[in-house]
Structure 1
Amino acid sequence: MRKPAPLPLQSISHLSRVVRDPERAAAFYTEVLGFTEIKRPSSFEVEGCWLIGYGISLHLIKGSPVRQRRPLNPSDDHTSFQATSLEEVERRLSDFSIPFVKANVEEHGVVVSQVFFHDLDYNMIEICNCDNLPIELLSEKCQLSRACTAPLEALQACKAGINAGMHFDKSRVHMLRHLQ
């Protein structure tokens, strides 16, 4: 029996986080992480706000977060961001009085450093230098040199038949049209 083809996906549309107070959460994400608030359709029945930054859209939805205060655990689910300087991240988190934990992962002599902290509703955030770690595709014999910042040409060469550049460009154009 033939396996059905995967869903015809192009890219991640957005991430969402349930928060107690969308205005307060938006202030955290804009002031601490540098996101920018964008227009949200007024037809939604639930309160919230939309933010954009770093190639993703983040939707904050008013509700009862399922998360409770708990210790920072790098093994919990989290949203991760690439940083240019983890030392600067640590300094700025300290400036904001935000507690954090650090972790390192080493693979064949390559070290990835990570900083983990919670937002105001205990959603965990990771900041890392994960593009130090090469990506090795398991389905094809191809290795990309940068995990988070691999050039589109490398992606196209590794996945023949899939135009990664077109997918990326279409989603960016789609996103930009919504911002106008």
Structure 2
Amino acid sequence: MIHYKELHHVSLTVSDLVRAKDFYSKILCLSEIPRPDFDFLGAWYGIGQQQLHLIVLPESQTIRQEKYVSSREGHFALRVENYQDTLNWLKKNGVEVLEKPNSKSGFAQIFCADPDGNLIELNVDQKDMALSFTTK
């Protein structure tokens, strides 16, 4: 039997590091962390106790050819503090989103894609979403 402690990191392949870092740093507001001096390009980001690793591999089989936003394809999810603030920020920055505020999952979800089509879910607990509207 395997006993897990936590999810350590998620790795995504990207085709253009400058474009990817612009998205993850400036649009998703993630903080870049030091990365070992590998013999290939990439970037690491800290998210709480977990990490997101970007790996440059333009010929990767995991880079989606169709860049449309979907909630049913492989993605990773980040919990955000405020649904509406996050949605407003993404729209202000021209990011295409798929909104699912009343998802059966119990999470109010916003889906978007990075420039390579990697899908990202940003969510809050629906109970927390209701509170964010009443406190403003």
TM bin, normalised by shorter chain, reads 0.7 to 0.9
Q: Distance in 2 between matches of 1:75 and 1:38?
A: 30
What's 1:106 paired with? 104
By relative contact order (CA 8 Å, sep 6+), the higher-ranking structure is 2
What's 2:131 paired with? none
What's 1:55 paired with? 49
What's 1:45 paired with? 39
Question: Normalised by the size of structure 2, how large is the TM-score?
Answer: 0.80
What's 2:83 paired with? 86
Contact 1:83 1:128 in 2 (8 A): yes
* 3-state SS of 2:11 partner: strand
Q: What is the Cα deviation at residue 78 of structure 1?
A: 0.9
- 1:70-92 residue CA offsets vs partner (Å, 9 max, x unmatched): 43221111111112221111111
Q: Could you tell me which of 29, 33, 49 is aligned with 2:28?
A: 33
Q: Could you tell me which of 107, 110, 116 is aligned with 1:115?
A: 110
Unaligned stretches of 5+ residues in structure 1: 134-180
C-alpha root-mean-square deviation of aligned residues, in Å? 2.1
**Size of the alignment, in residue pairs?**
124
Unaligned stretches of 5+ residues in structure 2: 129-136
Q: Distance in 1 between matches of 2:111 and 2:69?
A: 7
Q: For 1:162-177, what aligned pairs fall within 5 Å after superposition?
A: none
What's 1:159 paired with? none
What's 2:69 paired with? 72
Amino acid at match of 2:119: M
The percent identity for this pair of structures is 26
Question: Normalised by the size of structure 1, how large is the TM-score?
Answer: 0.62
